[in-house]
Chain A
Amino acid sequence: MTSNTDSPAPVAPSFPAASIDFNAVLENEAAGKTGSALLDGAILNQPAAEEAGEAEPQGDGYTATYQPIGKYVLNGPGMTEPEIFTGKKDAALARLDEIRASHTVSLSGGNTDPA
């Protein structure tokens, strides 16, 4: 009989159509990680340009630079130190957007009406 305090058994997530190190996934699982955290450090291969550690300039001084394996260094104006992000490129760029938003000061005096 189940109760409200029972934790559901962890279920393997859907993995991306990328190369993953399943031995690393098993190590993550043994360390108690679940869900997408099973992929921490386990994504082995990003497409070619990212393998080169190439910066992804965002045009305003913010960059997301791929660091094997599966990590990005996020940096930009106003950040006291770079942030290490583990995950896919889209998620890294989304996190960079959040950082940028937190460091951007509105110059419009709060008036957002384009008219």
Chain B
Amino acid sequence: MGDLSLNSTFGIKVESDPLTFAAPNTTTDLITCAELKATIQGLTADIKEFTGTIHRRGPVVLGSTIEISGKLLLRGPGGSTVPIADALVIGRILRAAGFTESIVSAAVPVAPEAVAAGGSTSSVTLGTTATGTADLYKGKMIALSALGAGKAGLTMVKSNDAAKLAQLPEVAGGALTTGTWQLIKQIAYIFSNSAGPTLSSSVWLGKQRIDAGGLAVSSFKVNMPTSSKEGQDVPSIDFTLTGDIVTWADDTAPVPAAALAVPPFRDGKMWVANTQLGGSSFTIDFGMKVAFPPNPNRLTGSEPAQMVETTRKVDLTLNQVPLATWNHVTQAQGQGYYSLYALWGLGVGNAFGLLVPEMRFNFRSPDNSGDFVTTTGEAYIDTADKAISLVFAFPSTF
């Protein structure tokens, strides 16, 4: 009987100490994962000894490094109650990648309240309950009744000042000076300046389990394909974890709980530079790099993996539109900062918002190789703190 590839599962847990393996629970710490791989790299030194013949010895084997990679499809936990801290398993990878898990378990204010005067078509002055600490709401999702009901009314905060004026990534039909606002229930994963915790992982491939510890995120990419008639794909996160093997054992793969349907990226919102645009996809690549500080006191000769660098970049493939609608040429020439906002979902607890408050465009290139002319190009996220936000949304209606 062969070992079946489909009998593969993945579990992860946050470590308190990168040198101490934290065994994932075979029920609560599992997550369904596509394209799951465990790649072990043997570390060797080519010693080039002379043997008195033309035949060299093989290299010295020094140890190994494990890379665990996969694709996590973006789906929410469902329900109307926001999960408690650390309960969303995907959130552990986001935290390890440097995101804060910011939990709004109760909407604020409890009932939507009137917005204040002073807003424009792309900004709103939050009401009495809102606080005046600048950028405290940055990256959070709010509901504005003036934008519409359900998903139409959901937007995200690019920035807010001490006068409670919140800048938005979209443009309303009229000045946002009437109606109500509310900070909805949500778990917002907001990128931070901090290094994230390391992870322990168990990977079952067929009937064997590999435990790995001291895992740092070495690659992280958010994929946002439009789920269209031409492109059949769904939003996901590609990740790679790098660390050390702890145990390799015979063990039958446990079965993770059945998960909700994956929301496609359609019937939602996409605003680029405060302009509503169409396109086939965008991605956010975090350009992460890990390294192992050398230390002969350690079993492996190295300290555990450590994230040492990120360079954050957005790639957008967009439909060509009149320059009068969106002048990407002048935006690239001016090297100013512009936002990116996406909203999609299937219902309360399975809805998402993604915001990049400030990115800087490189020059874009037209592409007429397909049926429609598109433009492709990159944008750069120069800052880190609150510079990328992925919200799992629990609005009252969607």
Binding site for B on A (CB under 8 A): 9-12, 14-23, 25-26, 29-30, 34, 38, 44-50
| Interface pair B105/A11, CB less than 8 Å apart | no
0/1 per residue, B59-79, Cβ < 8 Å to A? 000000000000000000000
CA distance A48 to B20 in the complex (A): 11
Given contacts A15-B192, A17-B192, A30-B131, contact A48 B104 (CB under 8 A): no
Asked if B100 contacts A10 (CB within 8 A), the reply is no
CB distance B14 to A47 under 8 Å? Answer: yes
Pick from B99, B108, B192: contact of A26, CB under 8 Å: B108
Determine, out of B30-38, B133-141, B170-178, B311-319, the stretch whose residues face the partner at the interface.
B133-141
What are 5 A-B contacts with C-beta separation under 8 Å? A10-B133, A38-B133, A47-B14, A47-B197, A48-B14
Interface residues of A, dominant DSSP? mixed
Within 8 Å CB of B99, what residues of A? 17
* B169 interface residue per 8 A CB criterion: no
Cross-chain contact of A14 among B162, B188, B385 (Cβ < 8 A): B385
Number of interface residues of B (CB under 8 A): 44
B329 contacts across to A, CB distance below 8 A = none
Q: Which residues of A contact B16 (CB under 8 A)?
A: 46-50
- How distant is A63 from chain B, measured CB to nearest CB, in Å? 16
Partner of A22, one of B97, B98, B104: B104
- The reply to whether A11 and B133 form a contact with Cβ atoms under 8 Å apart is yes
Number of A-B contacts (CB under 8 A): 106
User: How distant is A2 from chain B, measured CB to nearest CB, in Å?
Assistant: 13
CB of A47 to closest CB in B, whole Å: 3
A18 to B113, CA, bound (A): 30
Taking the closest CB of chain A, its distance from the CB of B102, in whole angstroms, is: 5
Question: Does B95 reach chain A (CB closer than 8 Å)?
Answer: yes
User: By the criterion CB–CB under 8 Å, are A17 and B98 in contact?
Assistant: yes
Query: How far, in Å, is A66 (CB) from chain B's closest CB?
Result: 9
Instruction: Name the CB-closest residue of B to A43.
Output: B85
For the complex, is B132 an interface residue (Cβ under 8 Å from A)?
yes
A15's contact among B100, B132, B196, by CB below 8 Å, is which? B100
Report whether B135 and A17 are in contact in the complex, using a CB–CB cutoff of 8 Å.
Answer: no
B52 to chain A, nearest CB (A): 51
Residue of A nearest to B20 (CB): A49
Interface residues of B in 152-175 (CB under 8 A from A): 161-162
Closest to B15 in A: A47
Chain B's nearest CB lies how many Å from the CB of A38? 7
For the complex, what is the distance from the CA of A19 to the CA of B100, rounded to whole Å? 6
Apart from A17-B192, A20-B102, A22-B102, 12 more pairs, CB < 8 Å: A9-B161, A9-B162, A11-B133, A14-B386, A15-B192, A18-B95, A18-B101, A26-B136, A47-B14, A47-B17, A49-B17, A49-B20
Known contacts A44-B84, A48-B14; is A14 also within 8 Å of B132 by CB? no
Min CB–CB distance A24 → chain B (angstroms): 9
A56 (CB) vs chain B CBs: closest residue: B16
Q: Mark B1-26, 1 if CB is under 8 A from A, else 0.
A: 00000000000011111001010000
